[in-house]
């Protein structure tokens, strides 16, 4: 076959002019066969079956019986003219040539007589569709991501080598559990030293000669601080409740106050507000009465509890304001102001709580100091001893904080969905450590185009991955400038078959009418568009059954269709599948 390649390429080059012209093509194939036969008869490198197959192949490439008969006649003539002299020198080849001629004639006569009526080319069939839009019933599809509602992305706070791994992927963990730790020999030693210093300070304080009078004065000061702190905390709490939190209630001082925000904690908010009407009054009465020091501790604990109750209500309202589904009828400026107000009141309540705790701690320290002074006799070291004790305690807490940074703790209970650390790895602060989530509470986050916004409403039911149902729980009120789309959250009613972190297909059949004042968007199948170097086109069929390329400007892509911004009209007839098609191509139109 190597000889076939070497000797036929020059022949093809000699007759390359024959392509595209039927008459010349006939001559080309005839001369081609003749030369090949002549060369191989001279070289004697061709097998009989190869020679016969080659002749047959070159004959059947003609689709017309008329051409084949003409080729056969021309072939006989050229063989007789060009091979007579060579065959005189190669008499043994005469038999071969005769066999070839007979077989070639047989194959020509064997062709189907109906071939005369067959077309020269296979004309492709296409299907026409209408680029219709603004339908009364439309199926909306989008792609989203399944996420856990409660999820924590944990990172390493301290750099170094990972020395301990205490969990694995798929394991359930409780809030506060240690998942891993980095090298912390130095931090552990510093903590131990600080604890020793604190214990030494305690021992020194116990042994100090503290003056009873100064201890009594310290206790009296602590009692006054308790009174001042309690009054201040009450004023702060009362002001926050009446001037900020009550804005979210209707008739807050009634027996059944209403809650203006839609939240799952509505019952709790209502019950707490009714209860505070009584408990705050009791707090006010406590702080204006003279009681023994022992009772002061219980009063401080009661006051701290009241502050914490109001702080909890404040935090619930702040969380509700951050949840978009609760804010449908509230202006953004109002929401921002309310968030700012609740953030400030939260800081005020925390400060009041801390001041009460500090007052309680100071009162306890003063009482303990008085007890030590009475045991030790007289002395002037009470202030110095207390300072040393606080310094030691501060050192302990600082060392504890440094040690805690070497530990990876989970703040929530859930399942370890991802774990990125291995024992012996070297990590930097901020390195991803683990992903913990509550996989029983899932939601889907997706984004939609502005034109699709009118098709969706909060509360609409959707199908997720064709196996689970969900409900649209939140729709952003504006387009996200970073993505150019509108964020949508979907709560999952049935988690069967869905996994956290996977991609989901969301489908919604909507019967809503598109606003007639908005230019309808034309959507066509993805297969109807062909991308050329000059840009995207679709094809229509002309009166001569030839394809006409129509340049178009494309819009957003959905799961199985694409929007056309310009280039065609809604009633334009285009072919449904442009793959492999080209402008000017003759086609037939399918009637299916």
Q: Structure tokens of 62?
A: 């003609």
Instruction: For tokens 């439309």, name the residue.
Output: 138
Give 67-78 pLDDT, tens digit per residue. Answer: 454 555 555 555
Give 103-135 pLDDT, tens digit per residue. Answer: 554 454 444 444 444 444 588 999 988 876 444
Residue 149 CA to residue 444 CA, distance in Å, equals 9
State how far Cα 555 lies from the chain centre.
Answer: 22
Per-residue pLDDT at 96 exceeds 60 = no
Q: Which of 80-94, 399-413, 483-497, 543-557 has the lowest mean pLDDT?
A: 80-94
Whether 273 and 267 have beta carbons less than 8 Å apart is answered as no
Main-chain phi, psi angles of 358, to 5 degrees: -65, -40
Residue 137, CB-side half-sphere exposure with 13 Å CA sphere: 1
Arithmetic mean of pLDDT, 211-227 = 78
What percentage of the chain reaches a pLDDT higher than 70?
Answer: 68
Residue 390 CA to residue 260 CA, distance in Å, equals 47
Q: Sorting pLDDT into bands at 50, 70 and 90, what band is 139?
A: low
Provide the pLDDT for residue 121: 56
Per-residue pLDDT at 98 exceeds 70 = no
Q: Structure tokens of 347?
A: 């800081």
Return the closest-CA partner of residue 309 out of 232, 240, 226, 235.
240
- DSSP result, 258-327: EESS--TTHHHHHHHHHHHHHHHHHHHHHHTS---HHHHHHHHHHHHHHHHHHHHHHHHHHHHHHSGGG-
In DSSP terms, 141 is beta-bridged to: 507
Q: Structure tokens of 164?
A: 């301990």
Return the closest-CA partner of residue 217 out of 229, 225, 209.
225
214 vs 534, residue with greater confidence? 534
Provide the pLDDT for residue 76: 56
Say which residues have a Cβ less than 8 Å from residue 160's Cβ, sequence separation at least 6: 182, 183, 184, 406, 426, 427
Instruction: For tokens 């047959």, name the residue.
Output: 56
As to burial, measured by CB atoms within 10 angstroms (0-12 exposed, 13-18 middle, 19+ buried), residue 539 is: buried
CB count within 10 Å of CB 225 equals 17
* Strand runs labelled E in 382-497: 407-409, 414-419, 426-427, 432-437, 442-448, 461-464, 468-475, 486-492
Provide the pLDDT for residue 6: 35
DSSP H or E stretch at residue 402: helix 382-404
Per-residue pLDDT at 243 exceeds 50 = yes
Q: Structure tokens of 217?
A: 């004065």
State the average pLDDT for the chain. 75
Q: How many residues can be counted in the chain?
A: 592
Whether 546 and 584 have beta carbons less than 8 Å apart is answered as yes
Per-residue pLDDT at 548 exceeds 90 = yes
Provide the pLDDT for residue 470: 84
Q: Which of 75-84, 273-282, 395-404 has the lowest mean pLDDT?
A: 75-84
Return the closest-CA partner of residue 342 out of 274, 263, 276, 243.
243
Per-residue pLDDT at 531 exceeds 60 = yes
Q: Which of 52-56, 385-389, 406-410 has the lowest mean pLDDT?
A: 52-56
Provide the pLDDT for residue 164: 92
Provide the pLDDT for residue 84: 43
Provide the pLDDT for residue 261: 76
DSSP H or E stretch at residue 548: strand 547-551
Main-chain phi, psi angles of 561, to 5 degrees: -150, 170
Domains along the chain with CATH numbers: 2-117 (no CATH), 150-184+407-437 (2.40.50.100), 209-380 (1.20.120), 442-510 (2.40.30.170), 522-589 (2.40.420.20)
pTM of the model: 0.35
Give 428-461 pLDDT, tens digit per residue. Answer: 999 999 999 887 778 888 888 887 787 788 888 8
* C-alpha torsion sign, points 63, 66, 69, 71: negative
Q: Structure tokens of 455?
A: 């098709």
As to burial, measured by CB atoms within 10 angstroms (0-12 exposed, 13-18 middle, 19+ buried), residue 432 is: middle
Say which residues have a Cβ less than 8 Å from residue 418's Cβ, sequence separation at least 6: 169, 434, 435
Return the closest-CA partner of residue 264 out of 208, 339, 187, 319.
319
Give 317-365 pLDDT, tens digit per residue. Answer: 888 888 766 566 667 777 788 888 889 999 999 998 898 888 888 888 8
């Amino acid at each position: 076959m190597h000889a076939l390649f070497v000797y036929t390429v020059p022949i093809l080059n000699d007759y390359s002019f024959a392509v595209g012209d039927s008459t010349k093509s006939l001559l080309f194939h005839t001369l081609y066969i003749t030369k090949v036969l002549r060369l191989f008869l001279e070289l004697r490198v061709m097998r009989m079956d190869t020679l016969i197959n080659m002749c047959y192949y070159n004959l059947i490439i003609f689709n017309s019986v008329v051409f084949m008969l003409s080729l056969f006649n021309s072939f006989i003539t050229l063989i007789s003219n060009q091979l007579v002299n060579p065959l005189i020198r190669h008499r043994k080849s005469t038999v071969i040539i005769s066999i070839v001629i007979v077989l070639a004639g047989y194959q020509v006569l064997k062709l189907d007589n109906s071939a005369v009526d067959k077309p020269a080319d296979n004309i492709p069939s296409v299907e026409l569709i209408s680029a219709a839009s603004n339908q009364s019933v439309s199926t909306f599809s989008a792609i989203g991501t399944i996420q856990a509602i409660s999820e924590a992305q944990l990172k390493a706070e301290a750099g170094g080598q990972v020395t301990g791994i205490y969990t694995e992927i798929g394991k359930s963990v409780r809030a506060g559990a240690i998942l891993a730790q980095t090298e912390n020999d130095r931090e552990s030693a510093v903590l131990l030293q600080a604890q020793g210093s604190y214990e030494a300070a305690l021992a020194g304080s116990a042994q100090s000669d503290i003056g009873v009078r100064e201890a009594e004065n310290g206790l009296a000061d602590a009692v006054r601080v308790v009174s001042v702190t309690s009054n201040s905390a009450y004023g702060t709490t009362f002001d926050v409740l009446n001037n900020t939190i009550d804005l979210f209630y209707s008739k807050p001082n009634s027996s059944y106050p209403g809650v203006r925000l839609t939240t799952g904690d509505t019952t709790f908010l209502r019950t707490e507000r009714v209860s505070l009407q009584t408990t705050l009054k009791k707090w006010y009465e406590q702080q204006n009465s003279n009681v023994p020091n022992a009772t002061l501790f219980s009063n401080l604990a009661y006051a701290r509890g009241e502050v914490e109750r109001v702080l909890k209500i404040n935090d619930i309202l702040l969380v509700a304001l951050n949840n978009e589904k609760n804010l449908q009828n509230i202006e953004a400026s109002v929401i921002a102001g309310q968030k700012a107000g609740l953030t400030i009141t939260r800081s005020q309540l925390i400060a009041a709580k801390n001041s009460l705790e500090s007052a309680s701690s100071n009162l306890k320290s003063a009482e303990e100091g008085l007890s030590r002074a009475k045991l030790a006799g007289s002395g002037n070291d009470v202030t110095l001893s207390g300072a040393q004790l606080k310094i030691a305690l501060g050192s302990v807490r600082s060392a504890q904080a440094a040690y805690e940074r070497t530990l990876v703790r989970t703040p929530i209970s859930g399942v370890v969905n991802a774990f990125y650390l291995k024992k012996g790895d070297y990590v930097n602060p901020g390195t991803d450590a683990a992903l913990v989530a509550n996989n029983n509470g899932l939601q889907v986050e997706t984004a939609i185009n502005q034109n699709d916004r009118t098709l969706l409403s909060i509360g609409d039911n959707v199908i997720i991955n064709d196996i689970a149902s969900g409900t649209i729980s939140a729709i952003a009120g504006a387009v996200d400038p970073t993505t150019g789309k509108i964020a949508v959250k979907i709560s999952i009613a049935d988690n069967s078959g869905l996994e956290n972190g996977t991609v989901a297909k969301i489908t919604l059949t909507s019967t809503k009418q598109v606003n007639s004042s908005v230019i309808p968007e034309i959507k066509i199948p993805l297969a109807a568009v062909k991308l050329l170097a000059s840009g995207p086109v679709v094809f229509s069929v002309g009166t001569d059954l030839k394809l006409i390329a129509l340049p178009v400007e494309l819009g957003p892509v959905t799961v199985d269709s694409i929007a056309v911004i310009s280039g065609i009209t809604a009633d334009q007839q285009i072919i449904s599948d442009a793959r492999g098609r080209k402008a000017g191509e003759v086609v037939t139109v399918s009637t299916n």
